Amino acid sequence: MSANAETFGRVEHANQADFARHVLQSEVPVLVDFYADWCGPCQMLAPVLDALAQETTQAKIVKVNVDQNPQLAVQYGVSSIPSLIVFQSGQVTSQHVGLASKGQLKDMLGL
């Protein structure tokens, strides 16, 4: 089983040290949720992300805590959370700030 196959069905967490492996080097599109534990809208979005991760094997869902990884937030221009960024082949292909429905997230991922 490949490393990517093992991650389907659950939301992954990435940090500065493993962001490239989880996101930039992924063979499938990756939706990255830049969030913080204290953020109410981020907490409201979490079950939507969990449900999407359970439903798809064509993309990955990765969360990045901005309090623990401020350098990643700065690198990708995150100034408000939740900030959702889709990466494909290491490149940003779509961005959204604030709450989003599962349908909006699927559209962002091209599913």
Catalytic positions: 39, 42
Pairing assessment for the beta strands 60-65 and 30-35 based on DSSP bridges: parallel
The rounded distance, in Å, linking the Cα atoms of 73 and 22 is 16
The rounded distance, in Å, linking the Cα atoms of 30 and 20 is 11
DSSP 14-53: --TTTHIIIIIT-SS-EEEEEE-TT-HHHHHHHHHHHHHH
